Amino acid sequence: MSELELEQLVCEYRTELLGTDCVIPRFGWKIRSEKRNTRQQAYRIQVADAADFSRPIWDTGRTESDYSIQVEYEGPALLSRTRYYYRVQVWDQFGRQSQWSAAEWWETAFLDSREWQASWITPSDDTTGTVSLPVSMLRRTFRLKTAVTSARIYATAAGLYEIYLNGSRVGEEWLTPGWTSYQHRHQYQTYDVTEYLCEGSNALGIQLADGWYTGRLGWDKQSGHYGKQRAVLLELHVRYEDGSEETVCTDASWKAAEGPILFSGIYDGELYDARKEQPGWSEDGFDDLDWQETIVAKLPYSQLVAQENWPVRVTEILTPQQVIHTPSGDTLLDMGQNMVGRVRLNLHLSAGTHLILQHAEVLDREGNFYTGNLRSAKQRVEYIAKGAGVANFASFFSFQGFRYVKIEGLSELNDTQLLQGFTGEVMHSAMEPTGQFQCSDERINQLQRNIVWGQRGNFIDVPTDCPQRDERLGWTGDAQVFIRTAAFNYQVAPFFGKWLRDLEADQRLDGSVPFVIPNILDNNAANANEGQTNTSAAWGDAAVICPWTQYLCYGDERLLGEQYDSMKAWVEYIRRQGDNEYLWNTGFHFGDWLALDAKENSYIGATPLELIATSFYANSVRILRDAAVVLGKSPEVRHYSDMLNRIVEAFRREFVTPAGRLAAPTQTAHVLTLMFGLVEGQDRERTARELNDLVVNNKYHLTTGFVGTPYLCLVLSDHGYHDTAVQLLLQDNYPSWLYSVSQGATTIWEHWDGIKPDGTFWSDDMNSYNHYAYGAIGDWMYRYLAGLDMDETETAYKMIRIYPRFAGGRLTSASARLESPYGAIESSWTEEEGRRTLEVQIPVNTTARITLSGAKLGRLTESGNPLTDVEGIGAMEESVEGVQLTAGSGTYRSLIRWRVQKCSLLVRLASMKRIG
């Protein structure tokens, strides 16, 4: 009999979760079975405070349920600073019982902010003005009476920090504590430091930098958005073998001094003078008599929350591909990839050598170093050598977006020495990779790599718009158009969960949502829009679209419930804006940002702003209505159903002629009208046909911007024009997704023509070469081209939808793989000489509904066997789309082979599929 095994247990999406303040954690697990069509029938969870489970504190017993994700803990109240172990056992419908899984653990931090004993401290003269201060070093010594069994540090900073214990850097996290709406929510981190300690004398050291808290943010060179004073907060809890504990805290007994980092800024880089190093500063025995005092800072504790997001880490090391000597005489390193992170040097340098590294994304058409698009961001790292031994250095509290690095100060080194002396360290929130896509066209594969690299470079604790210029802000519009693609490429539940809590915290009392989260723009007169609130349709809708997408992709009903009031507040804000409460026809809007049909010298496309605003209004009301259904809010279901109907009616009266023609003749107007279900019947058919004509008559080129582009191919495929969508994707001349690929791009560009065919640039004002919004096409590539999707009647891929839309011979294969909450899903097809083959993998405890376009029932086989005889294959029927069938869990290699019925190569769907 086939075995039934458990693997990949998670608590709050993570294995070995160290330091959480979640009082009701949720568990999930994946099941492995070689037997097809396996479903979980029951589970049992045990939780204990000892690894041997000798004293379980919670035991569910056998629980009849197919739930294997988001299962809530229902045991006794948890204790702070305690490690808990859990294990799972399951039964399937065949009567098989698994063994207990291997034990996993999670560990709580402070479950109540009032438990903090430490004081916020700051160097006595640390007050930031308009100029960044040198990075501070803080230290203290302490004694331990005997060997320890466990030790934890809980720490955070108003600024950025890193910790040293007895001379060793603690942890692999960078840019801690991350960026949040600090006045409302301020993360702290937990570190297991048992191995760093010794009996007797020990020393703690902290480096403290400006970071997002006091450093400059935005394009107007303002700093101190959250405060003018840096501070740090730390507690070390030590447990001895006899069970006793000792605590070391930050207080006024700590000493401080300036270190070798003379300057550090998020945008501008760092200046490090190795001659000012103080060897042994974080070790016992160091002489700190000339160090200054610290003082207690008056900062609150109530906003402190344990780490929620994936921490920022170095996730990959790149080596330079070549040294370039430019026509203007500069020496450059080419990393071969537009990356985000830092450069590490490892070289013998003589004392006083002043090395300058500048970072840029592209070269100009003459092949020279180009930094115009950085605006005021310097992206400059300087290192002054002390001359003893090998210089091993990378910036501590800054990150850069770059492919090319200009080197000054090392003229005596040859190209080989330069290539060997530098590496690139890729940094981002260390999300787990979950998705893969590839097809028979290598240009599309490069596009997919560009999308992934764009996500990596911009997911640095918040979803930024770009990682290089003087911006790097959490723009809401960019985040909402990309979130579904993001959830394919990586596990982003903690990432967006944390960011959405900041969105709710920064949402204004009137329900409006700022342009950027965390919000640093409201108090800046230079960013005011003639007295208008800094909010916009499609941007503020992130408050609704993002939590709903999280719910769909991860089954996270708790987050949906947490965000529901925020979602509702946004919808009610919109309702109060228009002259008619069912139209949004007032206020500032970004519109179809950067659309190609914009008027000259305008960033805003030609689609009427009120059409875009009302379309998104309808979409957000629909999602809010659906969220109310999920959360059991029956009165609000009725209320928002009625509101949606009235909005749709108002939209049709305003924007659709009596003959059924859409009043705005733009691609984006047609896309949004169809995507959000604002027309029906013949009007919908006409709108889809006219959209197709707009694309075809433009020689298969798009004109859409940030608002229309994400949905363009989805709408075309859903309304019978999939061939047009494929031709759009495969278009390689401007404007198109592949145009940037043809120009050598390794990330997604902000502008379709960021580099023009003649090699000149779009305006320096706003021309990022790592801007993921147009990478939202990845969603269509996964779900439509490869055919890996979910049936949204059940979330988190419990019910899988496998429906590859073939490419009419333009592609011969496409495949996608997704590590879903239930396990790996795969959809892979090939098409050669009219014969199609589909291979799928379906995880245990899920079911797939599969559509085989162009197939006939009697001609389907798997590995030569009639499909009716194949284990795991359920009901089959023919439809207008092809053959529909169900399949249980299992791997179906050479699953289905069939010859294409010519009449069904293109199928117009009978109804439009709604997506979140």
Domain match, 704 and 763 both = yes
Handedness of CA 535, 595, 619, 784 (dihedral sign): negative
pLDDT attached to residue 834: 82
Closest CA to 133 of 159, 167, 165, 111: 159
Mean pLDDT is lowest, of 371-385, 594-608, 661-675, for: 594-608
For range 631-648, the mean pLDDT: 98
DSSP string, 322-376: EEEE-TTS-EEEEEEEEEEEEEEEEEE--TT-EEEEEEES-B-TTS-B--GGGTT
Domain with residue 862: its CATH number is: 2.60.420.10
CB atoms within 10 A of CB 762: 18
Q: DSSP for 156-219?
A: EEESEEEEEETTEE--S-BSBT----TTT-EEEEEEE-GGG--SEEEEEEEEEE-HHHHS-BTT
Catalytic, 839? Answer no
- At 657 the pLDDT is 96
Residue with the larger pLDDT of the pair 131 and 68: 68
What is the rounded CA–CA span in Å between residue 607 and residue 594?
11
- Report the alpha-carbon angle 124-127-133, nearest 5: 100
Q: Which of 368, 373, 362, 359 is nearest to 407 (CA)?
A: 359
- 94-122 pLDDT, tens digit per residue, is 999 999 999 999 999 999 999 999 999 99
The reported pLDDT for the residue numbered 126 is: 72
Q: Of all residues in the chain, what percent carry a pLDDT higher than 90? A: 89
DSSP secondary structure letters along 750-791 = SSTTSB-TTS-BS-GGG--S--GGGGGHHHHIIIIIS-EEE-
Over the chain, what is the mean pLDDT?
Answer: 94
Phi, psi of 3, deg, nearest 5: -80, 155
Selected catalytic residue, list 235, 308, 750, 831: 750
784, 800, 828 - which closes a domain: 784
What CATH number does the domain containing 626 carry? 1.50.10.10
- Is residue 709 in a domain? yes
Q: What is the mean pLDDT of residues 785-810?
A: 96
Q: How does pLDDT run across 10-49, given as a tens digit for each residue?
A: 999 999 999 999 999 999 999 999 999 999 999 999 999 9
Tell whether 14 and 149 lie within a shared domain.
no
| 837 burial type by CB count under 10 A (0-12 exposed, 13-18 middle, 19+ buried) | middle
322 in any annotated domain: yes
Active-site annotation holder among 235, 425, 471, 831: 471
Instruction: Place 128 in a pLDDT band, splitting at 50, 70 and 90.
Output: low
Measure the CA–CA gap between 616 and 610, rounded to whole angstroms: 10
**Residue after which a domain boundary falls, among 374, 398, 429:** 429
> Among residues 224, 220, 292, which one has the least CA distance to residue 252?
292
Q: Are residues 84 and 124 in the same domain?
A: no
- C-alpha triplet 450, 453, 458: angle, nearest 5°: 125
The CA distance from 916 to 911, in Å, is: 16
Q: How far apart are CA 537 and CA 733, in angstroms?
A: 31
User: Could you tell me if 126 and 39 lie in one domain?
Assistant: no
CA distance 435 to 781: 12
831 is catalytic: no
Has residue 214 been placed in a domain? yes
Residue 220 lies in a domain: yes
575 lies in the same domain as 714? yes
Which of 153-167, 778-792, 890-904 shows the lowest per-residue confidence on average (mean pLDDT)?
890-904
The predicted pLDDT at position 524 comes to 52
Could you list the residue range(s) of the whole structural domain that residue 233 is in? 113-264+275-306
Q: What is the pLDDT of residue 131?
A: 60
Kindly give the pairing relationship between strand 799-802 and strand 847-852.
parallel
Residue of 532, 465, 463, 533 lying closest to 503 (CA atoms): 463
Strand-strand pairing, 823-832 and 882-887: unpaired
Across the range 264-285, mean pLDDT stands at: 97
Number of domains in the chain: 5
Question: Is residue 358 pLDDT above 80, yes or no?
Answer: yes
Cα 713 from Cα 736, distance rounded (Å): 12
H/E element, 313: strand 312-318
Cα–Cα distance for residue pair 890/862, rounded to 1 Å: 13
Assign 528 a pLDDT band (cuts: 50, 70, 90). very low
How sure is the predictor about 132, in pLDDT bands with cuts at 50, 70 and 90?
confident
Beta bridge partners of 231: 158
Q: How far apart are CA 910 and CA 556, in angstroms?
A: 31
Q: Within this chain, do residues 589 and 721 fall inside the same structural domain, yes or no?
A: yes
Cα-to-chain-centroid distance, residue 273 = 35
Read off the tokens for 38: 């396996």
**Under DSSP, is residue 86 helix (H, G, I), strand (E, B) or coil?**
strand
767 & 876 share domain: no
d(CA 604, CA 601): 9
DSSP 276: G
My answer on whether 248 and 133 are in the same domain is yes
Residues 740 and 598 in one domain: yes
What is the CB neighbour count within 10 angstroms for residue 225?
Answer: 20
- Give the DSSP letter of residue 274: G
Instruction: Please tell me the predicted confidence (pLDDT) of residue 530.
Output: 47
Place of tokens 């006794």: 76
Average pLDDT over residues 358-377: 97
- What CA–CA distance (Å, rounded) separates 49 from 862? 49
Asked if residue 384 lies in contact with residue 353, where contact means CB atoms within 8 angstroms, the answer is yes
Query: What is the CATH number for 184?
Result: 2.60.120.260
Q: Look at residue 462 and give its three-state secondary structure.
A: strand
For 243, residues 6+ apart whose C-beta sits below 8 A from its C-beta are none
624 with 654, same domain? Answer: yes
Band the pLDDT of 896: cuts 50, 70, 90: low
Q: Rounded to an integer, what is the distance from CA 503 to the centroid of its chain?
A: 15
pLDDT band at 858 (very low <50, low <70, confident <90, very high): confident
Residue 221 has pLDDT above 90, yes or no: no
The whole-angstrom separation of Cα 750 and Cα 476 is 15
The answer on 711 and 701 residing in a single domain is yes
Average pLDDT of span 60-89? 98
Q: Final residue of a domain: which of 721, 751, 784?
A: 784
The beta-carbon contacts of 274-279 under 8 Å, at least 24 apart in sequence, are 274/383, 274/384, 274/385, 274/386, 274/391, 274/393, 275/351, 275/352, 275/384, 275/385, 275/386, 277/386, 278/137
What is the length of the chain?
A: 916
443 in any annotated domain: no
Residue 439 forms part of a structural domain: no
Using the structure block, give the residue that is written with the tokens 């969105």: 503
What is the rounded average pLDDT of the residues 229-254?
Answer: 97
Buried b or exposed e, range 702-728, using 16+ CB within 10 angstroms? bbbbbbbbbbbbbbbbbbbbbbbbbbb
Residue 671 has pLDDT above 80, yes or no: yes
Please give the radius of gyration of the chain, using alpha carbons only, rounded to the nearest integer.
29
**DSSP secondary structure letters along 122-137:** EETT----SSPPPPEE
Query: Which 3-state string (H, E, C) describes 216-243?
Result: CECCCCECCCCCCCCEEEEEEEEEECCC
> In this structure, is residue 242 part of a structural domain?
yes
Question: Which tokens belong to 853?
Answer: 């376009």
Residue 912 lies in a domain: no
Is residue 245 within 8 Å of residue 237, measured between CB atoms? yes
pLDDT at res. 522: 85
| One domain, residues 38 and 134 | no
The rounded distance, in Å, linking the Cα atoms of 537 and 593 is 11
Residue 560 CA: distances (Å) to CA of 422, 491, 549, 686? 45, 17, 9, 36
